[in-house]
Chain A
Amino acid sequence: MNFFLTIVLDGLIQASWLFIVALGLTLVFGVLKILNIAHGSFYALGAYIAATAVTMVAAHGLPPSVGFVAMLVSVALIASAVGLLLERGLLKMFYGRDEVVLLLVTYAVFLILEDATKLIWGVNPIYATQPYELFGNVAFAGLYYVGYDLVLIPTSAAIGFLVWFGLNRTVTGKIVLAVIHNEEMSVSMGVRVNRVYALAFAFGVLLAALAGALTAPKISMQPGLSSDVIILSFAIVVIGGLGSVEGAAVGAVLVGLARAASVHLMPQAELFMIYLIMAAVLMFRPEGLFKRETARRI
């Protein structure tokens, strides 16, 4: 029973940050119809910026709680700016082209950001562990957990709720939903789709970077981070259905649990399991678990 609980908790901790990344990816796809390969790079960007912020705060002798706040604020500001710049400055030029062309454009952005992070932060691992001890250790059902990890679960749930609330209960959210469902109709009703695009993309980048910042104290930042994360978040959004918020949540929990279960039960199958689930979902229900079928050939 304890063993089972460990798997579930580990899985939920994994799922919590994965959900935030996947949420950004699925929103960007829903609104802009872009499968953003560079999404993992924004995660890495967030993690690196967070590390810099935490290290700078620590260098001034300030407590880790200040570092924690500083990293969230700096990441939020920089990520939104980067998102807006990219959408207005680059992606805009390719709208109306084939979905696959946009996929390649984001692949180019991924390549550029990959080296940009290497040039700024170097290729050696970077750590930002100070905030990790912020919430102490928690004894839970006879097991010891790092408080920070457990805090991630409600944080992620709160972000998920806020996004759901924003989409379904605010005017801006309703407009975004309208664009997701029928762009042409929204334009004819007077929606400024350009603004919705910019907003959605910047928000997607923000979510990825925020997830990066939140996980930064847990991991070591090094090259290759982005390509690993994007593959996991791809799996999640494909399992849940591209463009679906609920799908991203279910996908994240599934992938998190699958990862945790295989780490504990069958370590050799970890990566394999996740992609197998994804391939299976694509084979039998390519539109994902949580998306209505469309007449379009996919």
Chain B
Amino acid sequence: MKQGLHPVVMIALVVAATLFGRVLPTWTLSLATVAASNALIALGIVVLARTGNVSFGQGLFYAAGGYGVALIANAWGITDAAAQMIIGAVCSGLLGFVVGPLIARYSGIFFGMLTLALSMVFYGALVKTSALGGSDGFNVGRPSLFGMVFTDPREADFMLYAVSVVTTGLAGIAATILFRSELGLASLAVRENNLRVEYLGISANRVITINFVVAAIFAGASGAFALMAQRHIDPQFAYWTTSGEFVFVAVLAGYQSVAAVFVASLALELVRSFSNLYLPNTWQLVLGVFLLGVILFLPRGIGSLWVRERRKRIEPETAAPVAAEKGVVL
């Protein structure tokens, strides 16, 4: 079963993408940084969506990661970009670990509503917490990397670009491995029919919870990048329209291909900056039409443009042996 690229090839691609940042003009560099960071959180939504649940409240973990990093960085004087990213991921991962098991009991619309409600609880709390700057938020210092301080803004931009692309790339590789693992396949099975999965002896709730925590970790790291890129944080991180944008990227990408998430995120950022430039106040309009078009004509996302053919060939071959294996185990 030749499914997709070998991890070594993927690592080479990530390195190439990172070095490519050297030749990019400055404005594309910051755009690509945002795209990579958004791809990371959207990747989390895709991971979760493979269980059939769409989270409309990833802003919760995005903001939790961002605020966690901002507070810890300001209190302990941590400016290292990699450390900040890890702190963000850990903060949100812990939160996801608390929230996940509670939320895994729900599915479909209620899952979406509950995640949205929780992110809005957080938003409401942040807006009114004057110690955290209320609705204005607060600023953080310029990030460094492994003891190096970047005074040249171009170098600083490239550093952030490199760290975010490498992190997102590694997350993409991890997600690919996850998708191909037993857990990843079980996730798809939960999406199709969670009762049958339970009959097969796998806990659907556990599968959802694990995917939820993974999504939370990705969202936290993404929040940390957003914080480092803007050097500012405010409750808007947790607002539902922020989460909605990430869902948009995930829907655009579809749940079949990791590469599609990056393409979708980059496409979104390009559309956003061009419509901001030429047609102010229309980018949401463009986005909405785009989203409708994707749902209508590419229901499996842009990933289906290059994944569809292969899946058709694989499915009949692999379905039988997998079923036989399960039979032996049972």
| Residues of A that sit less than 8 Å from B by CB | 35, 90, 93-94, 97-101, 103-105, 107-112, 114-116, 118-119, 123, 227, 231, 234-235, 238, 242, 267-276, 278-279, 282-283, 286, 297-298
Q: Are A115 and B120 in contact (CB under 8 A)?
A: no
B190 CB to closest chain A CB (Å) equals: 11
Q: List 16 A-B contacts (CB under 8 A).
A: A94-B295, A97-B299, A103-B109, A104-B54, A104-B251, A108-B289, A110-B288, A111-B288, A227-B241, A231-B120, A235-B117, A271-B123, A272-B125, A282-B117, A286-B106, A297-B107
Contact with A along B41-67 (1 / 0, CB 8 A): 000000000000010100000000000
The answer for the CA separation of A100 and B315 in the assembled complex, in Å, is 25
Q: Are A271 and B128 in contact (CB under 8 A)?
A: yes
Q: Are A115 and B283 in contact (CB under 8 A)?
A: yes
B290 CB to closest chain A CB (Å) equals: 8
Q: Are B283 and A35 in contact (CB under 8 A)?
A: no
Q: Are B120 and A298 in contact (CB under 8 A)?
A: no
Known: A112-B289, A297-B195. 6 other contacts (CB 8 A): A103-B112, A104-B291, A115-B281, A115-B285, A282-B114, A286-B110
**What chain A residues lie within 8 Å of B276 (beta carbons)?**
none
Q: Are A272 and B292 in contact (CB under 8 A)?
A: no
Chain A CB within 8 A of B9 CB: no
The answer for the CA separation of A169 and B296 in the assembled complex, in Å, is 39
Q: Are A90 and B128 in contact (CB under 8 A)?
A: no
With beta carbons under 8 angstroms apart, the residue of A100, A269, A279 that contacts B109 is A100
Q: Which residue of A lies closest to B121 (CB)?
A: A275
With beta carbons under 8 angstroms apart, the residue of B110, B247, B288 that contacts A282 is B110
Chain A CB within 8 A of B124 CB: yes
**What chain B residues lie within 8 Å of A107 (beta carbons)?**
244, 247-248, 288, 291
Q: Are B117 and A115 in contact (CB under 8 A)?
A: no
The answer for the CA separation of A204 and B94 in the assembled complex, in Å, is 41
Chain A CB within 8 A of B273 CB: no
B108 CB to closest chain A CB (Å) equals: 6
**What chain A residues lie within 8 Å of B124 (beta carbons)?**
269-275
Q: Are A268 and B291 in contact (CB under 8 A)?
A: no
Q: Are A227 and B240 in contact (CB under 8 A)?
A: yes
Chain A CB within 8 A of B127 CB: yes
Range, interface on chain B: 35 or more
Chain A CB within 8 A of B230 CB: no
Q: Are A270 and B128 in contact (CB under 8 A)?
A: yes
**What chain B residues lie within 8 Å of A35 (beta carbons)?**
109, 112-113
A241 CB to closest chain B CB (Å) equals: 12
**What chain B residues lie within 8 Å of A90 (beta carbons)?**
292
Q: Are A105 and B121 in contact (CB under 8 A)?
A: no
Q: Which of A108, A115, A235, A276 has the most CB of B within 10 A?
A: A108
**What chain B residues lie within 8 Å of A242 (beta carbons)?**
109
Q: Are B247 and A104 in contact (CB under 8 A)?
A: yes
A260 CB to closest chain B CB (Å) equals: 16
A278 CB to closest chain B CB (Å) equals: 5
The answer for the CA separation of A100 and B130 in the assembled complex, in Å, is 36
A150 CB to closest chain B CB (Å) equals: 28
Q: Are A99 and B109 in contact (CB under 8 A)?
A: yes
The answer for the CA separation of A23 and B241 in the assembled complex, in Å, is 23
**What chain A residues lie within 8 Å of B244 (beta carbons)?**
107
Q: Which of B116, B287, B288, B289 has the most CB of A within 10 A?
A: B288
Given A107-B244, A275-B124; A238-B117 close (CB under 8 Å): yes
Q: Are B116 and A234 in contact (CB under 8 A)?
A: yes
Q: Are B128 and A109 in contact (CB under 8 A)?
A: no
B262 CB to closest chain A CB (Å) equals: 21
With beta carbons under 8 angstroms apart, the residue of B121, B281, B282, B287 that contacts A279 is B121
**What chain B residues lie within 8 Å of A98 (beta carbons)?**
108
Chain A CB within 8 A of B129 CB: yes
Q: Which residue of A lies closest to B239 (CB)?
A: A227
The answer for the CA separation of A117 and B170 in the assembled complex, in Å, is 41
**What chain B residues lie within 8 Å of A104 (beta carbons)?**
54, 247, 251, 291, 295
Q: Which residue of A lies closest to B282 (CB)?
A: A115
Chain A CB within 8 A of B211 CB: no
B233 CB to closest chain A CB (Å) equals: 18
**What chain B residues lie within 8 Å of A115 (beta carbons)?**
281-285, 288
**What chain A residues lie within 8 Å of B288 (beta carbons)?**
107-112, 115
6 closest pairs, A vs B, by CB?
Answer: A271-B124, A111-B288, A112-B288, A115-B285, A268-B128, A272-B124
With beta carbons under 8 angstroms apart, the residue of A118, A231, A298 that contacts B108 is A298
**What chain A residues lie within 8 Å of B72 (beta carbons)?**
none
Chain A CB within 8 A of B145 CB: no
**What chain A residues lie within 8 Å of B251 (beta carbons)?**
104
Given A234-B113, A270-B124; A279-B295 close (CB under 8 Å): no
Contact with A along B238-250 (1 / 0, CB 8 A): 0111001001100
Interface residues of B in 282-316 (CB under 8 A from A): 282-285, 287-289, 291-292, 295-296, 299
The answer for the CA separation of A286 and B115 in the assembled complex, in Å, is 13
The answer for the CA separation of A198 and B192 in the assembled complex, in Å, is 31
**What chain A residues lie within 8 Å of B247 (beta carbons)?**
104, 107
**What chain A residues lie within 8 Å of B15 (beta carbons)?**
none
Q: Which residue of B lies closest to A271 (CB)?
A: B124
Q: Are A279 and B128 in contact (CB under 8 A)?
A: no
Chain A CB within 8 A of B178 CB: no
Q: Which of A109, A111, A267, A279 has the most CB of B within 10 A?
A: A111
**What chain B residues lie within 8 Å of A274 (beta carbons)?**
124
Chain A CB within 8 A of B118 CB: yes
